[in-house]
Amino acid sequence: MNDIAERFQHVRSQIRHAVSIAGRPRGSVQLLAVSKTKPAGDIATLYRLGQRHFAENYLQEALGKQRQLSAFNITWHFIGPIQSNKTKPIATHFAWVHSVDRLKIAQRLSEQRPAHLPPLNICLQVNISAEDSKSGVSLEDLPALVEEVRMLPNLRLRGVMAIPEAESNYAKQRQPYRRLCQAVKELNRPELDSYSFGMSGDLKAAIMEGATMVRIGTALFGERQYD
């Protein structure tokens, strides 16, 4: 399987299958195509097959592809680490940001969101594997951050994003997502309707635990040469 069209069909059928065995409604999981390091031509190929949501990690690279693809009606998601001096272009050129993990970044995104655009959709990145090296707010600090971010005028807080430690065991893949989903439900904020969970290696576990958006790179575009 080395062509984008075949991979796309395969990923979509994996999603449909997981949604069905999870007993969840059809269409309740959205596919985000993670196109980092891949050329604009690959994005165009997938777009022509019907894909509309694309996610990028590196700002300069993303802006370049956005310029090349400006004729396409793409919804762009930013999923990479955010430095505070990069918030303005992120607030300007994306519809969703999944990697907000501190108030200062959220405040800057809100201040810098252009007035003519709708509120910027935000997921808070949560560190559920408790690894020091990974970014993300701790589960413990999540409720306070939710309360602060939801008050910012030009943002729309939608939910959470997580990147658990890589794990090949299916049951173990599910655990961190279950814990985070439970923690979010306990906040009793029905507007938090988005769970950005799951990558190529744990898509099924993520969907079983409530993912509403899966972020898929390798399984769609093939292995990356660099990261």
Ligand X SMILES: *Cc1c(COP(=O)(O)O)cnc(C)c1O
Minimum CB separation of residue 37 from ligand X in Å reads 9
Name the token pair of 64: 């370049």
Minimum CB separation of residue 125 from ligand X in Å reads 8
Cα within 13 Å of Cα(121), Cβ side? 19
Chosen residue from 109, 184, 206, 216 binding ligand X by CB under 6 A: 216
When asked if residue 113 is in the footprint of ligand X (CB under 6 A), the reply is no
Minimum CB separation of residue 170 from ligand X in Å reads 16
Q: What crossing angle do the helices spanning 142-149 and 103-112 adopt, rounded to 10°? A: 20
Lookup result for tokens 């099924």: 204
When asked if residue 215 is in the footprint of ligand X (CB under 6 A), the reply is yes
When asked if residue 199 is in the footprint of ligand X (CB under 6 A), the reply is yes
When asked if residue 165 is in the footprint of ligand X (CB under 6 A), the reply is no
When asked if residue 166 is in the footprint of ligand X (CB under 6 A), the reply is no
What is the DSSP code (8-state) at residue 86? Answer: G
Q: Which residue is nearest to ligand X (CB)?
A: 217
When asked if residue 38 is in the footprint of ligand X (CB under 6 A), the reply is no
Q: What is the dihedral of CA 91, 215, 162, 225, to 10 degrees?
A: -90
Residues across the chain: 227
Chosen residue from 4, 18, 34, 100 binding ligand X by CB under 6 A: 34
Nearer to ligand X, 143 or 222 (CB): 222
Q: Are 38 and 68 in contact (CB under 8 A)?
A: no
Nearer to ligand X, 189 or 201 (CB): 201
Region near ligand X per CB under 6 A, out of 22-30, 115-123, 132-140, 215-223 = 215-223
Identify the bridge partners of residue 216 per DSSP, sorted by sequence position: 33
Burial 15-35 (b: 16+ CB within 10 A, else e): beebbeebebeeeebebbbbb
Nearer to ligand X, 45 or 154 (CB): 45
When asked if residue 218 is in the footprint of ligand X (CB under 6 A), the reply is yes
When asked if residue 29 is in the footprint of ligand X (CB under 6 A), the reply is no
What 3-state class would DSSP assign to 177? Answer: helix
Chosen residue from 7, 36, 38, 77 binding ligand X by CB under 6 A: 36
Q: Are 49 and 10 in contact (CB under 8 A)?
A: no
Chosen residue from 35, 51, 57, 194 binding ligand X by CB under 6 A: 57
Query: Distance between CA atoms of 156 and 123, rounded to whole angstroms?
Result: 9
Query: Distance between CA atoms of 110 and 153, rounded to whole angstroms?
Result: 7
Binding interface with ligand X (CB under 6 A): 34, 36, 57, 79, 163, 199-201, 215-219
